[in-house]
Amino acid sequence: MNVNRERIMQRIDAFAGFNDNDDGGISRFSYGRADADARAWLMQICRELKLQVTVDPVGNIRACYEGVDSSLMPVLVGSHIDSVRNGGKYDGIVGVVGAMEVLTVMRENNCLPRRSVELIIFAEEEGSNFGTTMVGSKTLIGKLSADDLRHLHTEDKRTCLEILEKSGLDPGKMKDFVLKPGDIEAMLELHIEQGIVLEQEKKRLGVVQAIAGMTTMEVTVCGTSNHAGATPMYLRNDPMSAAAVLIEDIEDIAANHVLESTVATVGSISCRPNMPNVIPGEVTFTIDIRDIEQDAIEKTVAQITSCAEKISQERKVMIRFRTIGSSKPIRLSPRIMDTVKRAVSSCSDSWMVMNSGAVHDAAMMASITDVGMIFVPSVGGKSHNPEEYTDPSDIALGCQALLLAVTELCV
């Protein structure tokens, strides 16, 4: 059985047409208009393929290609269709279209697998709405409860629970959909690398062995708001200047004081009242800290909070930290890595074993099942921006490897 490169690229382009952004990049937040249209289009294709489609109360979609032996646990294959703001057209979508292609080719070939194969689309992977990633998969494995969803909110203070209910979903029913160990045989995800390792190593496929963990925190710095002209410099408790010093320390800590693999990013910042002629009263920003080693994440958090205490005393501002989300680094299943290695090596000699610096729903699923991931190269290592690009021949190769891995696990 072989995948169809033309159909794969047409479907990637079709997804790019579902876009809430007219600025060049893709903005497709979960529960938004473009997301709803993309999901409807995807589910229509699933029905044409005679898959059993279910949507759970947080918006994860599962579409089942039934196997011959219903007593066997299914294999899941998929990714996400939501994006960051002004992102690219390949993040998540390559894995979704790859999974659609696997099921399409199986149907075309009247394949009768022993195990069922299910396409899975995770909702809200990027954290674009609520500032914390993987809300769909975290809820699916029981890491987030319906009550936790009440405490996640958008910048304009709409809660996750409210948004789900407005989308016609019933989060109170999530308990009935939560997956436990013993429910799923394995999960596979194809994804773009989002970094530059494959390109530098001149390899076309990556077999992922570990996924970085991450901690996302919100930092609020409170000072004294006052007149920008009438307040002398020595009489200020300016939270913006304090935040600037702390942000510089965060960069220095991640770059020079933990591991070479440690990264920390301040990617979102706001202040109140946000006026040119007013010393702000409050500055809020996020910190995204990641590493393959949990210890390094914890050391980074500890060093940042200790710098914050010092700054708080020196500048007489109050600094509060709130953890918005976290996930631990994970090692992928050696059993599924072996399957993936066999699959990639029968498609190409050009592959390597590697780590993922980006997080993926597969990392959440690893707590309830064996997980495998295949990477394809990102040109120039660019991702989470409109310049994201992967060569169509590499995408098709990744889809073919995914097909071989799925069929080894199911047939």
Residues that bind ligand GLV (CB under 6 A): 126, 133, 358-359
Contact status: 88 vs Mn ion (CB under 5 A): no
| Cα 11 from Cα 38, distance rounded (Å) | 11
Whether 300 contacts 253, CB under 8 Å: yes
Residue 249 binds which of Mn ion, ligand GLV, none (CB < 5-8 A, kind-dependent): none
Instruction: Please give the residue whose beta carbon sits closest to ligand GLV in the complex.
Output: 358
Q: Which amino acid is at 232?
A: P
Closer of 390 and 407 to ligand GLV (Cβ): 390
The answer to whether the peptide bond before residue 171 is cis (omega within 30 degrees of 0) is no
Region of 31 on the Ramachandran plot (φ > 0 left; ψ -120 to 50 alpha; else beta):
left
Q: Binders of Mn ion: how many residues, by CB under 5 A? A: 2
Contact status: 249 vs Mn ion (CB under 5 A): no
Chain-centroid distance of CA 224 in Å reads 37
Contact status: 25 vs Mn ion (CB under 5 A): no
Residue 216 binds which of Mn ion, ligand GLV, none (CB < 5-8 A, kind-dependent): none
Closer of 11 and 384 to ligand GLV (Cβ): 384
Q: How far is the CB of 155 from ligand GLV (least distance, A)?
A: 17
Closer of 267 and 380 to ligand GLV (Cβ): 267
Closer of 132 and 303 to ligand GLV (Cβ): 132
Closer of 125 and 370 to Mn ion (Cβ): 125
Q: How far is the CB of 282 from ligand GLV (least distance, A)?
A: 26
Closer of 88 and 113 to ligand GLV (Cβ): 88
Q: Which has the closest alpha carbon to 95: 79, 119, 111, 108?
A: 79
Q: How far is the CB of 243 from ligand GLV (least distance, A)?
A: 22
Whether 394 contacts 348, CB under 8 Å: no
Q: How far is the CB of 109 from ligand GLV (least distance, A)?
A: 33
Q: How far is the CB of 133 from ligand GLV (least distance, A)?
A: 5
| Collapsed DSSP state (helix, strand, coil) of residue 154 | coil
Q: How far is the CB of 79 from Mn ion (least distance, A)?
A: 6
Q: How far is the CB of 10 from ligand GLV (least distance, A)?
A: 24
Q: How far is the CB of 278 from ligand GLV (least distance, A)?
A: 33
Closer of 203 and 384 to ligand GLV (Cβ): 384
| Cα 236 from Cα 223, distance rounded (Å) | 8
Whether 162 contacts 326, CB under 8 Å: no
Question: Positive or negative CA dihedral for 291, 297, 303, 304?
Answer: positive
Contact status: 127 vs Mn ion (CB under 5 A): no
Q: Which has the closest alpha carbon to 54: 44, 42, 63, 45?
A: 63
Q: Which amino acid is at 277?
A: N
| Ranges assigned E (strand) in 114-250 | 117-122, 186-192, 205-211, 213-222, 226-227
User: Residue 393 belongs to what H/E stretch?
Assistant: helix 392-410
From the list 35, 82, 91, 189, which residue makes contact with Mn ion (rule: CB under 5 A)? 91
Residue 133 binds which of ligand GLV, Mn ion, none (CB < 5-8 A, kind-dependent): ligand GLV
| Cα 263 from Cα 255, distance rounded (Å) | 7
List residues near Mn ion by CB under 5 A.
91-92
